[in-house]
Amino acid sequence: MTMRTDVLVIGGGATGVGVAWDAALRGYEVTLVERGDLAEGTSGRFHGLLHSGGRYVVKDPLAAEECVVENALLRELIPDCIEDTGGLFVATPDDDPAYGDKFLEGCQKAGLPAEEITVEEALRREPRLNPGIQRAFAVPDASIDAWKTAWSFARGAQEHGARILTRHRVVDLHVSDGAVTGARLRDEQAGTEFDIEAGFILNASGAWAAQILHMAGIEDVGVVPGKGIMIAMNHRLVDTVINRLELPGDGDILVPIRTVSVIGTTDIRSPDPDELPVTQEEVDQMLDDGERLVPGFREARALRVWAGVRPLFQDAKAGEVTDTRDVSRTHAVVDHAARDGIRGLLTMSGGKLTTLRLMAQDLVDAMVAQRGDERPCRTREVKPPGNEDGSFYAIGSRLRKREQRLLDEQLICECELIGRSTLEETMRRRHTTNLDDIRRSLRLGMGPCQGGFCMYRATGILHDVEELDGPEAAGSLVNFLEERWKGVWPILYGDQLRQARLDDWIFQGLLDVEHLPT
């Protein structure tokens, strides 16, 4: 079979869904293909920070300016995906307080509304902060839920006619007479391959861009994958985003998001974006960095660790990149007609989740210009679905809903307060056998017990909703346990090790899932 589309978007991360939304709003017929689940790669593996721009004001002013504008826009466009935590930049005892002056100057230049507050006021707002901090600045940082964001844009695109194909991997690009004409796709669930003809291809595959371009015979594109690890802690150790007041470095951001807080990150050049091992040294470093921001950090429970890979880009002519932190965080559109003599193909390189809307606009603008169309961008004005009521996500919102239905509905995930009807609706909508997809959609199994209790229940419910047979359901459970373990074992200590051992007793001892017929 052959599918046809006008615009083929490769990659279902923040950039790709933004591009699909932008192009669909302009009236193009769009198909987005993603090899895994939406926001399963880089976008779902960051710290959850909606940048105010403060991080970049001294070192990377252009990136800072973009963040200032896009932060304000996203707050208007997708408030349901954002928690308005605010942010603080604090000089720890190890930092030079004089950097604060450069910081403030940079904020003024970038148009970033930053305000110095007293140390006492900072400690009043965040009592767990290191009492030895020397200066503090308040900025409009926020936390943003990457999965909710991705689905919000994707659903918006779908409502405007876009096709969203998750678990579809591009295995080849078709090039004919110096132009791309389509791609060969593999449906990862069905195990089948088919071709899609496309009028234009927008490569939004981020750190995987080089792999995609290789399929069109383009070799020397300077994608520099930079690995960063993050650790989610069991509690909101802070309610405000905390940044170290210094040039961007490792372990200098602590983001409260939903029920947890996430510390990040490192930045290590990583040749293979699919091979991102977490080492004990990195974990130790993050925990020590956490201690510097919040004393007693090591006594808190670490829930999960993961590594993400930044899609940093540097033109091959600029030579070898040694420190990926020195690569600009802004983005650039790569025009393969001009660069490589291949028409109908553009690549988005670099960038960050905060500027996803702008990145999408720039990429689609470039396509519109090449095609000679007259279709202006509309993403500054139109809100994607789910954000109609205009209020920010608030930490207590699930609890409030839950309390209204306390006696009427089963609570399936106690940690994240997920009721049965929400779970069943999501299973029907996602129509998946992969419990990790449900995890990303609802945060199922992301709390302290890491699925210890809810995953057996979710398996029983999935078996019913998706009419699975026993072995299929068992396979879903085993797959979830194996995936979960990857993010758990490097940080198992303290009470989280205790929790993991209880989970071993439940899944291996009591249920004996290891010996289930699958």
Partner 1 sequence: MRRYDAIVIGLGLAGLTAALRLAEGGARVLVLAKGVGATHLSSSTIDVLGYAPAAVERPREALPGFIAEHPDHPYARVGVDAIAEAIEWFKGRVDYSGSLEANLLLATAVGALRPSAVVPRSMAHGDLRGGGKLAAVGFATLKDFYPALFADSLRRAGVEARAITLELPPERRADANALAFARALDGAAYRDRLVEALAGQLGDAERVAFPAVLGYNAAPEVLEALEARLGRPVFEVPTLPPSVPGIRLHRTLLTALRRAGAAVRLNNVVVGAEGGERVESLRVRVGLREERVAASWVVLATGGFASGGLELDSRWQARETALGLPVSGAPAPGEPRFEPDYFAHHPFNAAGIAVDGELRPLDGSGRRVYENVLVAGATLAGSEPWKEKSGDGISLATGYAAAGLVLGAPAVAEARS
Q: What residues make contact with partner 1 under the rule CB under 8 A?
A: 280, 287, 298-299, 302, 406-412, 420, 453, 456-457, 459-461, 463-464, 469-471, 473-474, 477, 481-482, 484-486, 489-490, 492-494, 497-498, 501-502, 504-506, 508-517
Q: Which of 37, 167, 147 is nearest to 442 (CA)?
A: 147
Which is nearer to partner 1, 399 or 510 (by Cβ)? 510
Compute the least distance from the CB of residue 507 to partner 1, in Å: 8
* Smallest separation, CB 307 to partner 1 (Å): 13
How far CA 257 is from CA of 83, 90, 169, 237, in Å, comes to 8, 19, 31, 10
Query: Is the bond into 5 cis (omega within 30 degrees of 0)?
Result: no
Q: State the Cα–Cα distance between residues 424 and 463, nearest whole angstrom.
A: 11
Minimum CB distance to partner 1 smaller for 3 or for 468: 468
- CB nearer partner 1, residue 323 or residue 464: 464
Residue-wise DSSP of 366-409:
HHHHHHT------TTTPPPTT-TT-PPP-TTHHHHHHHHTTTTS
Task: Report the residue number, 132 or 460, with the smaller CB distance to partner 1.
Answer: 460
Q: Which is nearer to partner 1, 332 or 516 (CB)?
A: 516
Measured distance CA(393)–CA(411) in Å, rounded: 21
> For the chain, what is the total number of helices (H) and then of strands (E)?
15, 22
User: Where in 19-141 does DSSP place strands (E)?
Assistant: 30-33, 49-50, 82-83, 87-91, 115-117, 135-139
* CB of 450 vs partner 1, minimal distance in Å: 12
Among residues 225 and 451, whose Cβ is nearest to partner 1?
451
From the CB of 479, what's the least distance to partner 1, in Å? 10
Q: How many other CB atoms are there within 10 angstroms of residue 467's CB atom?
A: 8
Work out how close the CB of 34 gets to partner 1 at its nearest, in angstroms, rounded to a whole number. Answer: 25
Kind of pairing, strands 2-10 and 192-203?
parallel
CB of 221 vs partner 1, minimal distance in Å = 31
* Distance from C-alpha of 489 to C-alpha of 213, rounded to nearest angstrom: 35
Shortest separation between residue 277's beta carbon and partner 1, angstroms: 9
8 A C-beta contact, residue 150 and residue 353? no
Nearer to partner 1, 120 or 514 (CB): 514
User: Is 214 or 498 the residue whose CB approaches partner 1 more closely?
Assistant: 498
Nearer to partner 1, 201 or 412 (CB): 412
Q: How many CA atoms lie within 13 A of 276 on its CB side?
A: 24
Report yes or no: 150 and 39 within 8 Å, Cβ to Cβ: yes
Within 8 A by CB and 6+ apart from 296, the residues are 128
Task: Compute the least distance from the CB of residue 409 to partner 1, in Å.
Answer: 5
137: nearest Cα among 92, 93, 87: 87
Question: Residue 459 Cβ, how far from partner 1 at the closest point, in Å?
Answer: 7
